[in-house]
Amino acid sequence: MRRLLIIYVCLSLALLGGCSASLEADTHDVERLLLIQTLGLDSIDGGIEMSVSSGLGPEDAPALVMSVQARGIEDAIARLQNYSPENQLFYAHVQYLLLGEGAAEKELQKVIEWVDRSPTLRMDTEMLVVRGRARDAVVDVSEDAADITQRLASLDRQARSMGWTIHTLREAAAALAQRDGALALAVEAVPTEGKVFTDEQQSAAVVPMGYAVLGPEGLLEFLSPEASLGAELLTGDPTGLLITVSGCTMEILDSSARIEAARDENGAPCAVTVRCRLRTGVLERDAGEELSPEALDAALCQTVSAWVGEAVEKAQAFGCDYLGAKKAVLTSADDLARYGGEWDQLFPALPVTVQVEGRVDRSYDLAE
């Protein structure tokens, strides 16, 4: 009996450990495993185009870059595997998800649902919207010396130091579910020709282009660089962002922003005031410009007011709350219960005032 028991337990363990034909599809041979690190999606007629890059391999082995057209995401994954029979493509370590304009417009909810159900992909994957096609960013940027993942990692570091925020798919999905609007960093693949001269082979680079506004159905619009700066001031941490005001290039040293509501006699929100405070430091200035520190402060406030105002106006025009105004205005549970349901009609009609308190701190270089 005891022998029978031992055999039974060993058999069970063997089955659970994957030594079974039905589990073979889920086993991963480490030697054949190829980690996909960047995944791009584009929308095409009758389906999608998926582009992937594995990132540089050990000892700088070139990245495997592939692109296929398919009816859907799972179909594309199966087809990609067909084109790489010697490797087992493994998506558990995807770091960047690039959505082309078309995919961001039409496939956003599908992508969110797919990642939710996927046993491998993470909701915390960083998501960027590519102006144009994601394929161009994945395929054109990848070359022997550097591939898209490396470029995106560099962009990631640079974006953080420059004050841009790369949102994850989770953050975008949560914002969309809660307030019908989200921001995603927009990037563009631009040719390096005429800019980079050391590469033997000319390729492309990925550069940030401000923010894309996502609605429940998908991409609504790309914000202008100025409105993107305004949105970043209201939603993120723009410390390190470079701005140019009256011929002076400045770096934002710190900032804070608050959205407040004025109430009518019934307690209903009747106007919105956006208050921003920021401190900047001058990095360089045009030789001919002569501005007093006070005038520079005033110019900073005026410029930033316009940027923030544009970001708020866009939110009102799109009817999508990517700035989180609802949570800022309807602060109590009672407010939410009374006005939460009609927020989509209420918010676009509210007059907006932007008040910016700006200070240019390191103006010693302008004093003389």
Partner 1 sequence: MEDHLITRKQFAAAILVSQLSPLLRLLPQTAVGFAGRGAYLSALPALVPVLLLTAMLASFRRHMRPGEGMGGLLLRWLGPVAGRLVLILFAAWFLFYGGFILRSGAERLVSTIYPSSGQALFVLVTILLCLLVALGTLRAAARAAVIMRAVLISALALVIVFSTPNMDRRQLLPIGWTDGVPILLGALPFASVGAVSAGFSFLEGYVERPKNGRWLWGSTLLLLALGGVICATVVCVFGPALTATLTYPFFVMIRSISLWDLVPRIEAVVIAAWVGADFLLSTMLLRCAHEALRPVFGLPSPEGPAMGSIRDGRAMLWLEAAAAFGCSFFFDLPPWELRLWSDRYIPLMSDCVLYGGFLLLWLVTLPKRKKRR
Nearer to partner 1, 196 or 337 (CB): 337
The DSSP element (H or E) to which 304 belongs, if any, is: helix 293-318
Nearer to partner 1, 27 or 154 (CB): 27
Q: Are 311 and 323 in contact (CB under 8 A)?
A: yes
The nearest distance, CB 92 to partner 1, in angstroms, is 6
What angle separates helix 225-235 from helix 293-318, to the nearest 10 degrees? 90
Closest CA to 223 of 185, 166, 274, 249: 185
**Least distance (Å) between residue 165 CB and partner 1:** 14
Rank residues 17 and 351 by Cβ distance to partner 1 and give the closer one: 17
User: To 10 degrees, the CA torsion angle through 89, 91, 95, 97?
Assistant: 100
Measured from the CB atom, is 286 or 342 closer to partner 1? 342
DSSP H helices, 83-203, are 101-106, 108-117, 134-135, 141, 148-162, 169-179
Structure tokens at 92: 């558990």
Residue 326 Cβ, how far from partner 1 at the closest point, in Å?
12
Cβ proximity to partner 1, 119 vs 194, nearer residue: 119
Nearer to partner 1, 242 or 337 (CB): 337
Residue pointed to by tokens 């050990």? 58
- Interface residues with partner 1 (CB under 8 A) are 1, 4-5, 8, 12, 15-16, 20, 22-23, 25-26, 92-93, 116-117, 119, 121-124, 170, 173-175, 177-178, 327, 331-334, 336-337
Q: How many CA atoms lie within 13 A of 43 on its CB side?
A: 16
CB 154 within 8 A of CB 141: no
The sheet that has 248-263: what strands, in order across it? Answer: 242-245, 248-263, 269-285, 352-360
Q: Dihedral (C-alpha) 191, 79, 172, 121: value to the nearest 10 degrees? A: -120
Shortest CB 6 distance to partner 1, Å = 12
Nearest to 361 by CA among 297, 290, 287, 299: 297
- Least separation in angstroms between residue 354's CB and partner 1 is 23
Cβ 267 to partner 1 shortest distance, Å:
14
State the nearest-atom distance from the C-beta of 122 to partner 1, in Å: 5
What letter represents residue 248's amino acid?
A: C
CB of 45: closest distance to partner 1 in angstroms? 29
Instruction: Considering the complex, state which of residue 16 and residue 196 has its C-beta at the smaller distance from partner 1.
Output: 16
CA pair distance 97, 111, nearest whole angstrom: 10
The two structure tokens encoding residue 163: 């004050």
Q: Nearest distance from residue 21's CB to partner 1, in Å?
A: 10
> Which lies closer to partner 1 via its Cβ, residue 244 or residue 331?
331
Nearer to partner 1, 78 or 196 (CB): 78
Contacts of 153 (CB under 8 A, 6+ apart): 95
Contact between 256 and 336 under an 8 Å Cβ cutoff? The reply is no
